[in-house]
């Protein structure tokens, strides 16, 4: 062969086999051997790659690149106006290395270039397949979710198709062995869990309730998120209130006149042993750090000197005209009755204890201690009394007649507890809390009160149904709003907000005022 022919890229001899393996697109899994010294790469409208021998002066339809033999490998050259990426980099011309990933066009497939020895056929090992998957994840310009999904599908497909039967059998055996191991380990875990539950069944439920409350508690890093998340909602509430005032002067008057009668309730409870009166406490180590149970809940004990285990709660209460008491729901005054995690404790030699129960009146900086006077067994109602003398709280009148379907009502209360009031307090107040780095349940409420930010929220709705047992209405509310008054447009209490109707979003249930009137009379409070 002459030197001239050896230097001609169209006739240079092939010294080392090379190929393209398509990893994506319609031809994925297909291998195309590069058998000529110069080969054209064409991309069809259907994203299929076609490789053919290059001819001088010929530009076939869909031409997107040309391979030229260069020493022991190939060089890819891209015509003007076309875009090809190699290992994620946009190129005009580049010499290829074994394993390079080539992406043909914006919508074209991703292919792997590889070389092999002169007398050694190409064979994909598991390492090759995994390596291809890694390179695809690294260089593909597809969106992340789409890229990961494609990579996983291709990995599974190639392992199940391109590997040897022996390897696939080994994988099946390994999977069966792993499944057997997992099953036996799960049985061991079940037996261990049963032993743990038998030893700590009295306390695990309460620990779980405390863990759930801790997850929902306000933390320092939450304040910035609260400010962003609820800032827009506060503006929405302000707009809604403005629209409410514009549409109905009566509604605005009712809200203004009744606000000071509706108190924010804040409390905490724990458990103690009936026989010894010892309180349930957090178990701590030698360094005073809390211990955790195998289930990830705080470990509780009747021994030691750890802090008393308490579960915090909030709710709404309101004063009634002619009675020096507050009204709320039974499930607010006796919150442990609604928590299935604490019922096992109540059934044993343990009794619930209210550790702290206070009320904040709008416009007043100091909290007032309250206690349960009586809880109804017939309805979700409870009467609270002030422990240290009654503050000057104006009472609300009870409606003489129940509302009719279609009547407008206004629900007042403190839904979501501290969170909603923080949203209303403004950025300056939240910034001060961030600087103070104190998000304690009690401290935040005290700061809100001193800043004049404890005010009930109002939402207006329509009565859907009115019976002797229940009033149904669609005013917006949620947890924390329980125990609040449902008012008519005269400002009279027609119901006590009780619960959201299960399975029917947007509808809430209230205890009729007639039941409250009968309960007050029975308790001797009227």
Q: Which of the listed ranges 24-28, 52-56, 412-416 does the model predict with the highest average pLDDT? A: 412-416
Rounded Cα distance between 182 and 185, Å, is: 5
In 3D space, the residue among 139, 133, 79 whose CA is nearest the CA of residue 103 turns out to be 139
Placement of tokens 């390596």 in the chain: 131
pLDDT in the model for residue 520: 94
Cα 276 to the center of its chain, rounded Å: 42
pLDDT in the model for residue 357: 96
Domains of the chain and CATH, by start: 3-163 (2.60.200.20)
pLDDT digits (tens, 9 = 90+) for 265-322: 999 999 998 889 999 999 998 888 888 887 777 888 888 889 999 889 999 999 998 8
Q: In the predicted model, is pLDDT for residue 155 greater than 50?
A: yes
pLDDT in the model for residue 263: 95
pLDDT in the model for residue 16: 65
pLDDT in the model for residue 3: 42
**SS3 assignment, position 151:** helix
Q: In the predicted model, is pLDDT for residue 239 greater than 50?
A: yes
pLDDT in the model for residue 399: 95
Q: In the predicted model, is pLDDT for residue 52 greater than 80?
A: yes
Query: 159 pLDDT band (50/70/90 cuts)?
Result: low
pLDDT in the model for residue 220: 60
Q: Which of the listed ranges 180-194, 196-210, 312-326, 499-513 does the model predict with the highest average pLDDT? A: 312-326
Residues 489 and 251: beta-carbon distance below 8 Å: yes
- Rounded to the nearest 10°, the torsion over CA 399, 403, 408, 409 is 50
Q: In the predicted model, is pLDDT for residue 241 greater than 80?
A: no
212 sits in which H/E element: helix 165-216
pLDDT in the model for residue 517: 94
What does the pLDDT average to over 217-237? 58
Query: 473 pLDDT band (50/70/90 cuts)?
Result: very high
Query: 177 pLDDT band (50/70/90 cuts)?
Result: confident
Q: Which of the listed ranges 20-24, 199-203, 415-419, 512-516 does the model predict with the highest average pLDDT? A: 512-516
Strand order in the sheet with 101-104: 31-34, 18-22, 110-115, 101-104, 84-86, 89-91
pLDDT in the model for residue 118: 43
pLDDT in the model for residue 1: 37
Q: What percent of the chain has pLDDT over 70?
A: 74
- Compare 394 and 134 and report the one with higher pLDDT: 394
Q: Report DSSP state, residue 336.
A: G
Half-sphere exposure of 1 (CA within 13 A, CB side): 9
What does the pLDDT average to over 332-349? 76
Residues 223 and 433: beta-carbon distance below 8 Å: yes
Written as six digits, the tokens of 225 are 């998120």
Residues 421 and 454: beta-carbon distance below 8 Å: yes
What does the pLDDT average to over 45-65? 85
What does the pLDDT average to over 17-46? 85
Residues 37 and 68: beta-carbon distance below 8 Å: yes
- Compare 108 and 111 and report the one with higher pLDDT: 111
pLDDT in the model for residue 277: 92
What does the pLDDT average to over 500-514? 77
Q: How many CB atoms lie within 10 A of CB 379?
A: 19
pLDDT in the model for residue 360: 95
CA angle 270, 219, 483 (to 5 degrees): 50
What does the pLDDT average to over 81-105? 89
Q: In the predicted model, is pLDDT for residue 449 greater than 80?
A: yes
Q: pTM for the full model?
A: 0.58
Q: In the predicted model, is pLDDT for residue 233 greater than 70?
A: no
| Mean pLDDT score across all residues of the chain | 80
pLDDT in the model for residue 199: 40
Cα separation values, 466 from 157, 176, 472, Å: 62, 61, 6
pLDDT in the model for residue 512: 96
Rounded Cα distance between 56 and 355, Å, is: 93
Residues 312 and 355: beta-carbon distance below 8 Å: no
How many residues in total does the chain contain?
526
pLDDT in the model for residue 46: 85
Query: 224 pLDDT band (50/70/90 cuts)?
Result: low
Residues 392 and 340: beta-carbon distance below 8 Å: no
Q: What percent of the chain has pLDDT over 90?
A: 33
């Amino acid at each position: 062969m002459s030197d001239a022919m050896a230097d001609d890229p169209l006739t240079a001899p092939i010294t080392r086999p090379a190929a393209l393996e398509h990893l994506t697109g319609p031809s994925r899994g297909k291998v195309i051997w590069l058998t000529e010294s110069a080969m054209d790469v064409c991309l069809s409208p259907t994203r299929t790659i076609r490789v053919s021998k290059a001819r001088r002066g010929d530009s076939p339809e869909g031409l997107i690149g040309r391979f030229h033999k260069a020493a022991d490998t190939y060089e890819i050259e891209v015509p003007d106006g076309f875009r090809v990426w190699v290992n994620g980099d946009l190129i005009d011309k580049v010499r290829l290395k074994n394993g390079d990933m080539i992406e043909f066009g914006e919508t074209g497939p991703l292919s792997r270039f590889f070389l092999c020895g002169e007398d050694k056929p190409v064979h994909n090992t598991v390492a090759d397949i995994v390596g291809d998957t890694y390179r695809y994840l690294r260089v593909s310009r597809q969106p992340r979710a789409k890229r990961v999904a494609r990579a996983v599908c291709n990995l599974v497909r190639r392992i199940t198709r391109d590997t040897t039967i022996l390897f696939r059998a080994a994988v099946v055996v390994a999977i069966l062995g792993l499944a057997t191991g997992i099953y036996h380990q799960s049985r061991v875990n079940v037996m261990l869990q049963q032993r743990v539950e038998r030893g700590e069944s009295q306390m695990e439920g309460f620990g779980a309730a405390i863990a759930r409350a801790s997850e929902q508690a306000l933390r320092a890093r939450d304040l910035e998120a609260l400010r962003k998340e609820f800032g827009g909602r506060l503006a929405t509430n302000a707009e809604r209130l403005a629209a409410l005032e514009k549409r109905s002067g009566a509604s605005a008057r009712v809200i203004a006149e009744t606000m000071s009668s509706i108190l924010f309730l804040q409390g905490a409870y724990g458990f103690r042993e009936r026989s010894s009166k010892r309180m349930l406490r957090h178990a701590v180590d030698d360094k005073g750090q809390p211990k955790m149970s195998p289930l990830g809940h705080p470990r509780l004990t009747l021994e030691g000197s750890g802090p008393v285990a308490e579960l915090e709660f909030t709710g709404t209460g309101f004063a009634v005209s002619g009675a020096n008491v507050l009204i709320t729901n039974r499930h607010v005054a006796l919150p442990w009755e609604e928590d299935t995690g604490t019922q096992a404790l109540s059934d044993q030699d343990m009794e619930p204890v209210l550790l702290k129960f206070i009320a904040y009146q709008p416009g007043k900086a100091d909290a007032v201690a309250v206690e349960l006077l009586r809880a109804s067994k017939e309805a979700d109602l409870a009467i609270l009394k002030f422990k240290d003398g009654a503050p000057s709280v104006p009472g609300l009148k009870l409606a003489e007649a129940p509302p009719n379907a279609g009547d407008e009502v206004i629900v007042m209360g403190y839904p979501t507890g501290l969170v909603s009031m923080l949203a209303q307090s403004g950025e300056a107040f939240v910034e001060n809390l961030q600087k103070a780095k104190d998000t304690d349940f009690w401290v935040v409420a005290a700061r809100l009160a001193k800043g004049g930010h404890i005010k009930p929220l109002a939402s207006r709705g329509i009565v859907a149904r009115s019976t002797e047992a229940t009033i149904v209405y669609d005013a917006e509310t949620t947890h924390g709003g329980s125990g609040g008054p449902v008012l008519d447009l005269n400002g009279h209490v027609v119901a006590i907000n009780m619960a959201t109707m299960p399975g029917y979003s947007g509808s809430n249930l209230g205890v009729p005022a007639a039941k409250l009137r009968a309960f007050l009379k029975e308790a001797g409070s009227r």
